Amino acid sequence: MKNFGFGLMRLPMLGGEVDIEQVKKMVDRFMEEGFTYFDTAHPYIGGKSELAIRECLVERYPRESFVLADKLSSSFFKTEEEIRPLFEKELEACGVEYFDYFLMHSQSRNSYPKYCDCRAYEIGAELKAEGKIKHLGLSFHDTAEYLEKILTEKPMVEFVQIQFNYADYDDAENQSGKCLEVCRKFGKPAIVMEPVRGGALVDLPAEAKEILESTGKSCANYAIRYAASFDGIFMVLSGMSSLEQLEENIAFMKDFEPLSEEEFAAVDKVREILDSVETIPCTACKYCTEVCPKNIAIPSIFSTMNEIKRFGKEHVWIGEFGERGPENCIKCGKCEKACPQRIAIRDELAEAAKILG
């Protein structure tokens, strides 16, 4: 199987509907070049991603000629009893009798306990034994330490999908590099999502862009090949939204070459430029949240603010902090006494409330 997969979360749209004709062309070109991996999920494009892949791929190609991944997303089930009907609904939406890869979606300390309470992993293992899933895995958004906990507790997990890109390799919150190390330690092959970091690594600052493009290769080329160059990574996904984007990506992934030493050095220079932006020096140690009476999501808020500083607000996914948002800080100052980095947390939160609000 080739190591480049088609993420189906940002398909081209036409008047509020998926542009089916364009997706058919994208699927055809992808398959023609020998790529076979497609990744969808029930919530993608409000359920339209699954239906589109049924029409553009499943109904037009023999089942054994492609590899289809889908996910169990927490917003669609509340109890153990709801998991199997949801799974059947997803099979039906995609028009298949089995999924090659099936993932517990977006696992983190916020979502994982619910999957445990509902026996989601155990049900996944049963579905695998019944032949309805070929490989059971998870997609992950938390620290390396938390990934280690899940992999220890759930040995039925066969593979892990992680956020992995050169900008986040050493990032305190995303911990790309450390998460990959955990996958390797547990012998779990990794799939990469967001190698271009939601477009931010394509739309780089001019100085950084020049370093990469002066070598005759695009920023996307560097970002995707970077992710695919590490041992333990067997698949890199890209959420492609046009035939043009797909053509560009398959041109450099069809005869994949890992980054050369010179290319890794060019990426290091780009990372230096991104890292030179002044950010909040939060290490995500979470000492502050242990003492905060309002349970403000301080490290996550700072991570979001740092991403905005580095990549611009348009490239940053801003989560819902709800009650834990910066505007709910009562300025008691307890967090600042606990912070080993001596961050002026109250001032930073006030700034964050203005920008994120």
255-284: contacts with ligand SF4 (CB under 6 A): 282-284
If one counts every other C-beta atom within 10 angstroms of the C-beta of residue 150, the result is 23
Rounded to whole angstroms, the Cα distance separating 70 from 101 reads: 7
State the minimum distance, in angstroms, from the CB of residue 327 to ligand SF4: 10
301 touching ligand SF4, by CB under 6 A: no
Rounded to whole angstroms, the Cα distance separating 177 from 179 reads: 6
184 touching ligand SF4, by CB under 6 A: no
Q: Which of 246, 335, 352, 356 binds ligand SF4 (CB under 6 A)?
A: 335
Please give the C-alpha separations between residue 115 and each of 132, 148, 206, in angstroms, as whole numbers.
19, 16, 44
State the minimum distance, in angstroms, from the CB of residue 333 to ligand SF4: 5
For tokens 């990506």, the residue is 249
Classify each residue of 170-206 as buried b or exposed e, where b means 16 or more C-beta atoms within 10 Å of its C-beta.
ebbbbbbebbbebbeeeebebbbbbbbbbbbbbebee
Considering only the stretches 58-66, 135-143, 191-199, 326-334, report the one whose residues sit in contact with ligand SF4 under the rule CB under 6 A.
326-334
Phi and psi angles of residue 52, each rounded to the nearest 5 degrees, phi first = -65, -40
Binding residues for ligand SF4, how many (CB under 6 A)? 27
355 touching ligand SF4, by CB under 6 A: no
160 touching ligand SF4, by CB under 6 A: no
Q: Which of 134, 135, 184, 286 binds ligand SF4 (CB under 6 A)?
A: 286
According to DSSP, residue 39 is labeled E
State the minimum distance, in angstroms, from the CB of residue 353 to ligand SF4: 11
144 touching ligand SF4, by CB under 6 A: no
Rounded to whole angstroms, the Cα distance separating 331 from 87 reads: 46
- Sorted by sequence, the CB contacts under 8 Å of residue 113 that are 6+ apart come out as none
CA atoms within 13 A on the CB side of 42: 22
Q: Which of 330, 344, 347, 355 binds ligand SF4 (CB under 6 A)?
A: 330
CA atoms within 13 A on the CB side of 194: 20
Q: Which of 157, 267, 329, 356 binds ligand SF4 (CB under 6 A)?
A: 329
332 touching ligand SF4, by CB under 6 A: yes
**Which amino acid makes up residue 291?**
V
State the minimum distance, in angstroms, from the CB of residue 338 to ligand SF4: 6
Considering only the stretches 89-97, 109-117, 135-143, 332-340, report the one whose residues sit in contact with ligand SF4 under the rule CB under 6 A.
332-340
Packing angle of the helix pair 298-311, 345-356 (nearest 10 deg): 60
Considering only the stretches 148-156, 205-213, 245-253, 328-336, report the one whose residues sit in contact with ligand SF4 under the rule CB under 6 A.
328-336
Q: Would you report the helix, strand and coil content of the chain in percent, each value rounded to 5?
A: 50, 15, 35
In the bound state with ligand SF4, the residue whose beta carbon lies nearer, of 123 and 172, is 172
292 touching ligand SF4, by CB under 6 A: yes
Which positions lie near ligand SF4, rule CB under 6 A? 282-288, 292-294, 296, 298-299, 329-335, 338-339, 341, 343, 345-346, 349
